[in-house]
Amino acid sequence: MSIVTRFAPSPTGRLHVGNIRTALHNWMLAQKHGGRFLLRIDDTDQERSEERYVEAIRTDLAWLGLSYDGEERQSDRLAHYQAAFETLQAAGRIYPCYESSQELDIKRKIQLGRGMPPIYDRAALSLTEDERAAKEAEGIAPHWRFKLDHEEMITWEDGIRGDQKFDPAQLSDPVIMRADGSWLYMLPSAVDDIEMGVTDILRGEDHVSNTAVQIQMFTALHAAPPRFAHEALLVGREGKLSKRLGSLGCDAMRENGIEPEAIIAMLARLGTSQPVEPVLDRKVLIESFDLSTFGRAPAKFDDDDLQRVNTAIVHQMPYDAVSERLPEGMDAKGWEAVRPNLGTVSDVAEWWTLVTGPINQPPFDADTKLFLAQAAEALTWGDEPWGTLTQALKEQTGRKGKALFLPLRQALTGLDHGPDMKAMLPLIGEATARERLQAAANS
């Protein structure tokens, strides 16, 4: 059986590191096994869903390179959910409830005050037909719950958590339809997974109890449940997923110069026993993807670590991957010369001015000016002009180390640090190099 995974975001905001990680792991699982990865837009919440976020989700996935093999929108599938609703209703697995949200909240508080779990008491099941009719005559529209079967334990072999067992009597019958007729997550998600042929669902551990409920929904709809795996949630340095971290989305990361490959490398192994490394080749990450390496402890995300991974990724990126983002006139040799000094690709423009100019030379003392005048005279061009120049000056002046190299760097680039001068001097060129040395000597 071919593997089919899915990513099912709600278009109520931008993708952030938590759901990017979910999308990535489902994509990697499908890629590793030659399966299919589907995008499902969970937009049944009409009040909060926005079309701009649907477009943003597609844009972000494309930027990350997470291509999908099909897309569905829940807002286009309402008739499918209604049909499933009617099937379950005919089977006695759905029932109407008339409590207000305030009444349910009071019930929960009373249960908690008595040290009891806040489980729905199924009071609506004891209503007679006349009592239901009376409530509806008062204008009270019902919400609808799925009736869990309390006779059998709910069990499954979780791909990360191992054997799972839930007593359905310790779970509330979930609300599947609001009083206004709008759908909640549970039933539409199960219906879609059945009809889209989803075989594997990899999601956060906050969905474990949802899985227990949905397994009964699959069974009630005469479908075999998919395989489930629940990964530990992301936390920040402070021990929880902070608002700052939770809002760290693709748009913010793009603006900060983070490469998609750095995000992929960071999130691919975060929370596993495998080391997080700046792996540029996705095939390596896909081949090493293994649910058995996922741990149960919260996965710590640190954006400083992401910056470090990003820097290491940039230092590996070939010219062809960045050529369209480089300053005019910068060729492969220029990129390779500057690349080791970059934190982000956008930093390249600043370093490229060392070649194109203008530069700001520091003030030099008299002895240094004399030395730089000698350098202008000694400058000759060949395969390795920097090595030829420094060797000649070393022999002529007796200078070595910092006293030899630093004034030359400062005169030629205006800085006392930067890319390797062996690579930079040929880019600056003979005429410009001599002009800068002479200008420094005469300053």
Residue whose token pair is 């049909």: 83
**439 CB contacts (<8 Å, ≥6 apart)?**
361, 411
Distance between CA atoms of 299 and 271, rounded to whole angstroms? 4
* Angle value at C-alpha 100, between 95 and 102, nearest 5 degrees: 140
| Residues in CB range of 286: below 8 A, 6 or more apart | 28, 31, 32
Judge if the upstream peptide bond of residue 419 is cis by omega within 30 degrees of 0.
no
CA-based nearest residue to 57, from 7, 131, 132 = 7
Which residues are CB-contacts of 429 (< 8 A; sequence separation ≥ 6)? none
CA 223 – CA 16 distance, rounded (Å): 33
Cα–Cα dist 384/257, whole Å = 34
Sign of the CA dihedral with 94 first, then 12, 209, and 126 last: negative
**Alpha-carbon Rg for the chain in angstroms:** 32
Distances (CA, A) of 206 to 6, 174, 295, 327, 373: 17, 15, 15, 46, 70
Is 243 annotated as belonging to a binding site?
A: yes
Residue 6, SS3?
Answer: strand
Which burial class, exposed, middle or buried, applies to 181 when counting CB atoms under 10 A from its CB (0-12, 13-18, 19+)? exposed
Q: For residues 61 and 63, what is the distance between their CA atoms, to the nearest angstrom?
A: 5
What lies within 8 Å, CB to CB, of 371 at 6+ separation is: 393, 397, 399, 407
Give the angle 183-180-126 at the CA atoms, nearest 5°: 90
Q: Are 97 and 144 in contact (CB under 8 A)?
A: yes
Of residues 234, 197, 194, the one with CA closest to residue 214 = 194
Binding-site positions for ATP = 243
List binding-site positions. 243
